[in-house]
């Protein structure tokens, strides 16, 4: 396993897609504090953009995992590892570790660039040490769950292009689902500023009316659970919400990682590698 990890890390640092992705994230993270400062001046709160990486890290993981692991198939590296005597389980776990490490390293680069530019402009993030620790923990577990999902797809697909397309489409589908759930959960309980045109043609303001789209009871609890379960839903909440259900999010991430990894190890063990 140690030899596999060492070889993977050496190849990762020379991987062009990884380097370009990190450069893009660094540029974006440096731009966000400047944009907020220009728009809001001294009133800007660094909390509004500090955890922005939670939205974009999913697509970075999707691309990085598929291209990195797809190259192992296209260049015959995967077959050579098997010939060298490495077990399929160790190969799979080593690739999962390197994909997770790649995304975590990209986040470190993102935060470093953001801090270098943002702290002189807008000051430090306005969160206590405990809240920061909790949010970083959930973010790390969310990245692990993303990596486990994309590693599963990439390890079972020998085509680099097909793997990249599948991973990106899956991420976009999960992101769209998370935004649609968020929209339902954000529906107000009452419709305010409701106006009606009477028989005389006069416009009168009506008392607030119950919103039929407002979720209540078991339906709301189900939506909230799915929202916390989806890694994309967690990413949105990490960027927009003050309070998060971090224990449930952490448990969901552990469950996703364990389930997809066990399935991936099993299916990869039976896969016919050409």
Residue 40 has pLDDT above 80, yes or no: no
The DSSP output letter for 188 is -
Residue 45: left if φ>0, alpha if ψ -120 to 50, beta else—which one?
A: beta
The β-bridge partners of 194 are 206
CA–CA separation, 9 and 210 (whole Å): 57
Q: What is the pLDDT of residue 221?
A: 94
Place 44 in a pLDDT band, splitting at 50, 70 and 90: confident
Pick the more confident residue, 195 or 174. 174
Instruction: Kindly state the average pLDDT of the residues 104-128.
Output: 89
Residue 193: left if φ>0, alpha if ψ -120 to 50, beta else—which one?
A: left
Q: What is the pLDDT of residue 202?
A: 59
Q: What is the pLDDT of residues 173-186, one digit of tens each?
A: 999 999 999 999 98
Three-class DSSP labels, 91-117: HHHHHHHHHHHHHHHHHHHHHHHHHHH
The values of phi and psi at residue 126, to 5°, are -100, 70
Handedness of CA 25, 4, 158, 71 (dihedral sign): positive
**3-state SS assignment for residue 57:** helix
Q: What is the pLDDT of residues 1-29, one digit of tens each?
A: 788 888 888 888 888 889 999 999 999 99
Instruction: Kindly state the average pLDDT of the residues 98-122.
Output: 92
**3-state SS assignment for residue 24:** helix
CA–CA separation, 64 and 189 (whole Å): 42
CA–CA separation, 220 and 177 (whole Å): 15
CB 60 within 8 A of CB 144: no
Name which of 51-65, 66-80, 103-117, 165-179 the model is least confident about.
66-80
The total number of residues written for the chain in this structure: 274
Q: What is the pLDDT of residue 16?
A: 87
Euclidean distance between the first and the last CA atom of the chain, given in angstroms as a whole number: 23
Q: What is the pLDDT of residue 200?
A: 56
CA–CA separation, 68 and 88 (whole Å): 17
pTM: 0.89
Place 59 in a pLDDT band, splitting at 50, 70 and 90: very high
**3-state SS assignment for residue 261:** helix
Q: What is the pLDDT of residue 243?
A: 80
Q: What is the pLDDT of residue 112?
A: 94
- Tell me the HSE value of 191 on the side-chain side, using a 13 A CA sphere: 10
In angstroms and rounded to an integer, the radius of gyration of the C-alpha atoms of the chain is 23
The values of phi and psi at residue 134, to 5°, are -65, -45
Name which of 98-112, 140-154, 230-244 the model is least confident about.
230-244
Q: What is the pLDDT of residues 204-258, one digit of tens each?
A: 666 677 788 888 889 999 999 999 999 999 999 998 887 888 999 999 999 999 9
Average pLDDT over all residues of the chain: 88
- Give the highest mean pLDDT range of 2-6, 70-74, 106-110, 154-158: 106-110
Instruction: Kindly state the average pLDDT of the residues 43-68.
Output: 88
CB 223 within 8 A of CB 207: no
């Amino acid at each position: 396993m140690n030899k596999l990890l060492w070889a993977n890390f050496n190849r990762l640092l020379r991987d062009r897609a990884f380097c370009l992705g990190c450069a893009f994230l660094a540029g974006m993270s440096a731009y966000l504090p400047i944009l907020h400062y220009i728009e809001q001046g001294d009133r800007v709160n660094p909390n509004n953009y500090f955890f922005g990486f939670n939205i974009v890290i999913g697509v970075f993981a999707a691309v990085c995992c598929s291209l990195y692991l797809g190259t192992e198939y296209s260049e015959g590296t995967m077959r050579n590892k098997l010939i060298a005597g490495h077990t399929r389980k160790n190969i799979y776990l080593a690739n999962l570790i390197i994909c997770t490490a790649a995304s975590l390293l990209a986040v470190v680069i993102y935060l470093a660039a953001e801090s270098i530019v943002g702290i002189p402009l807008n000051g430090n993030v306005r969160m206590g040490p405990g809240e920061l620790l909790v949010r970083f923990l959930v973010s790390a577990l969310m990245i692990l769950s993303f990596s486990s999902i994309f590693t599963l797809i990439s390890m079972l697909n020998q085509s680099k292009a097909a793997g990249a397309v599948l991973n990106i489409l899956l991420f976009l589908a999960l992101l769209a689902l998370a935004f649609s759930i968020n929209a339902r959960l954000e529906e107000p309980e009452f419709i305010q500023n409701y106006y009606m045109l009477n028989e005389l043609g006069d416009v009168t303001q009506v008392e607030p009316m119950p919103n039929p789209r407002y979720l209540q009871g078991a339906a709301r609890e189900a939506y909230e659970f799915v929202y916390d379960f989806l890694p994309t839903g967690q990413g949105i909440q990490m960027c927009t919400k003050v309070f998060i259900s971090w224990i449930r999010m952490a448990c969901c991430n552990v469950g996703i990682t364990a389930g997809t990894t066990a399935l991936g190890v099993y299916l990869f063990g039976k896969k016919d590698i050409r």
